[in-house]
């Protein structure tokens, strides 16, 4: 059902007329409803300029058609076209998504445009007294008939969206040994969040997990990525669906649920969502797997900061990291090559726009832990890289950051750091605890910057993707794939869904019967420049460090 309670217009339609004195004193008139009567046969085009109207009463006239321009009255919540001579309705009527009540009783309608199925906020649909087909009227007369009929119309409306285009960004570096691999980042929308309260524009059957999960897996397998990072994966679905399905396709995986799972009963724990990383086993093997719990880090590093304890510690978001070793088969048969590692990190930050400080602190904590993983792996695996070198192991960071490109979170990741007085901290006292997450340790800098030391770039730069989250209320970029330089290059990315298809089919938000999540997946092909020994076949090769 729609989010807001709807009260229909008062049928008495009471009004007052301003006195001459009130008008002379500059009193403003306000009328949100309009009634047209008198056996009218056609409507003036001037009517379509009254976009402030919320109710339009045109019943009991002699109208035989309704112009498509009626859709310009986009604020209408009530439209009464009853008792006219209307034979057909314009498809544009389906664009009037604010409508709560549409009365079409006692007309001459034989068919309904499928576009009416897009009226996701409609609560009352009047169709009595029309010579409509029996199958339409049978649906309409069932319990919850309006909703069932709208779902039927929507189901028969849209064609499959066109394939997303591939955007080539650069050619592989032919002067250096390399391995190519692909990465997918995708928030799959956990079942418990896919409610009609949040996504009233999507029919219930298309929100159902049993329906959506097939399309989600089709999206994943269609990309055929070597590394898959997923957010909002339900615990039970990871073990019963995602892992078995992807193992059949040659993947293995690692998953951790949000921190709340540890305090729950077995039956409740299975519905907690978390982050998962899958990797193609013919190309990679797992060396280490790590879970990063932000609330635990907040508690351990609060340094007396009330904001850290009251705002960050109370959010149970998590991140995961998997240290992979590249299999020899990917490395162009180079002999004597040093062990080649790749660190894949995946996180889902807090959602609330009012908590920009929490998202920024969570991101800092995550990068600090990723750096610790790199440092320990460099030492324990006895890599030739200098211990403490942040970029010693190539890093791919996938995340739903719940942060726009102009946010402090993205500035921090892209530029290497932010000032501890950044506006996203909301002037809350974090500075003492934040220095612990500086790339060079506590009190290492005096310029007030909190830095991470990684040389990160976004695979989707320069607005290549206009939105990654697409709902009725919000459309923007909040999902990202970052990769570290100089070891990695991005060769190409999967572009956005054709915006013309979204407009032509009036897709006001996702999920949609043909789009199973409120997020679009990200997909990039990356080039890993390999570590090589000083000499190969007698040739000395310069270092890339």
Active site residues: 400
E strands of 304-365, at which residues?
318-326, 341-348
Instruction: Provide the CB-side half-sphere exposure for 220 (13 A, CA).
Output: 30
Place of tokens 């000032």: 419
E strands of 127-177, at which residues?
166-168
Neighbour tally for 266: CB within 10 Å:
6
Omega before 263 cis (within 30°)? no
Which stretch of DSSP H or E encloses residue 245? Answer: helix 243-248
Does residue 181 contact residue 338 with C-beta atoms inside 8 Å? no
Would the CA dihedral through 304, 309, 311, 315 be positive or negative?
A: positive
Q: 329: burial class by Cβ within 10 Å (0-12, 13-18, 19+)?
A: exposed
| CA–CA distance, 273 with 256 (Å, rounded to integer) | 8
| Nearest in space to 530 (alpha carbons), one of 486, 496, 499, 494 | 486
Cα dihedral: 537, 538, 542, 545 (round 10)? 60
DSSP state of 29: P
Place of tokens 């909703």: 147
Omega before 82 cis (within 30°)? no
Place of tokens 């009725």: 472
Q: Is 284 helix (H, G, I), strand (E, B) or coil?
A: strand
Phi, psi angles (nearest 5°) of residue 469: -120, 125
Q: 23 is written with which tokens? A: 């008008």
Neighbour tally for 501: CB within 10 Å:
15
Helix, strand, coil percent values for the chain (each to nearest 5): 30, 25, 50
| CA–CA distance, 329 with 28 (Å, rounded to integer) | 77
At a CB cut-off of 8 Å and minimum separation 6, what does 521 contact?
A: 184, 185, 186, 219, 220, 223, 494
Angle among Cα 439, 444, 450 to the nearest 5 degrees reads 50
Which stretch of DSSP H or E encloses residue 340? Answer: none
For helices 408-415 and 356-380, give the axis angle rounded to 10 degrees: 30
Task: Tell how far CA 191 is from the center of its chain.
Answer: 14
Through-space distance between the first and last CA atoms of the chain, rounded to whole angstroms = 58
Q: 35 is written with which tokens? A: 């009634």
Does residue 383 contact residue 339 with C-beta atoms inside 8 Å? yes
């Amino acid at each position: 059902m729609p989010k807001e309670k709807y009260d229909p217009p008062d049928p008495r339609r009471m009004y007052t007329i301003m006195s001459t004195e009130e008008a002379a004193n500059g009193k403003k008139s306000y009328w949100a409803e309009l009634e047209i009567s008198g056996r009218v046969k056609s409507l003036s085009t001037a009517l379509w300029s009254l976009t402030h109207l919320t109710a339009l009463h045109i019943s009991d006239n002699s109208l035989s058609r309704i112009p498509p321009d009626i859709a310009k009255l986009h604020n209408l919540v009530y439209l009464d076209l009853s008792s006219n001579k209307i034979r057909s309705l314009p498809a544009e009527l389906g664009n009037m998504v604010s409508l709560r009540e549409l009365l079409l009783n006692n007309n001459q309608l034989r068919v309904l445009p499928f576009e009416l199925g897009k009226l996701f906020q409609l609560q009352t649909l009047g169709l009595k007294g029309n010579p409509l087909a029996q199958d339409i009227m049978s649906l309409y007369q069932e319990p919850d008939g309006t909703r069932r009929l709208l779902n039927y119309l929507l189901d028969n409306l849209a064609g499959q969206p066109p394939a997303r285009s591939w955007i080539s960004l650069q050619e592989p570096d032919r002067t250096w040994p390399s391995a190519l691999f692909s990465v997918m980042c995708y928030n799959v929308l956990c079942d418990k969040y896919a409610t009609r309260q949040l996504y009233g524009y999507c029919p219930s059957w298309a929100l159902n997990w049993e329906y959506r999960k097939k399309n989600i897996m089709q999206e994943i397998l269609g990309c055929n990525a070597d590394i898959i990072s997923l957010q909002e994966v339900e615990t039970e679905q990871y073990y019963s669906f995602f892992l078995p399905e992807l193992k059949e396709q040659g993947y293995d995986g690692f998953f951790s649920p949000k921190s709340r799972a540890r305090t729950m009963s077995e039956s409740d724990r299975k519905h907690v969502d978390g982050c998962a990383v899958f990797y193609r086993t013919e190309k990679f093997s797992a060396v280490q797997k790590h879970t990063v719990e932000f609330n635990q880090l907040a508690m351990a590093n609060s340094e007396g900061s009330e904001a850290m304890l009251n705002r960050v510690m109370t959010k149970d978001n998590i991140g995961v990291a998997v240290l992979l070793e590249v299999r020899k088969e990917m490395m162009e048969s180079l002999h004597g090559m040093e062990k080649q590692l790749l660190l894949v990190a995946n996180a889902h930050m807090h959602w609330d726009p009012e908590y920009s400080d929490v998202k920024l602190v969570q991101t800092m904590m995550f990068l600090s832990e990723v750096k610790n993983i790199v440092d320990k792996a460099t030492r324990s695996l006895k890599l030739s890289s200098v211990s403490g070198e942040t970029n010693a192991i190539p890093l791919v960071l996938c995340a739903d950051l719940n942060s726009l490109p102009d946010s402090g979170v993205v500035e921090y990741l892209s530029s290497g750091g932010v000032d501890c007085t950044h506006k996203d901290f909301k002037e809350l006292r974090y500075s003492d605890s934040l220095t612990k997450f500086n790339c060079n340790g506590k009190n290492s800098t005096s310029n007030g910057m909190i830095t991470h030391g990684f040389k990160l770039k976004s695979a989707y730069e320069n607005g290549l993707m206009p939105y990654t989250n697409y709902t009725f209320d919000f459309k923007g970029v909040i999902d990202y794939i970052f990769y570290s330089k100089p070891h990695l290059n991005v060769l190409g990315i999967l572009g956005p869904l054709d915006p013309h298809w979204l407009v032509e089919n009036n897709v006001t938000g996702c999920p949609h019967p043909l789009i199973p999540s409120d997020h679009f997946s990200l997909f990039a092909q990356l080039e890993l420049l390999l570590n090589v020994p000083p000499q190969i076949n007698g040739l000395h090769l310069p270092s890339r460090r």
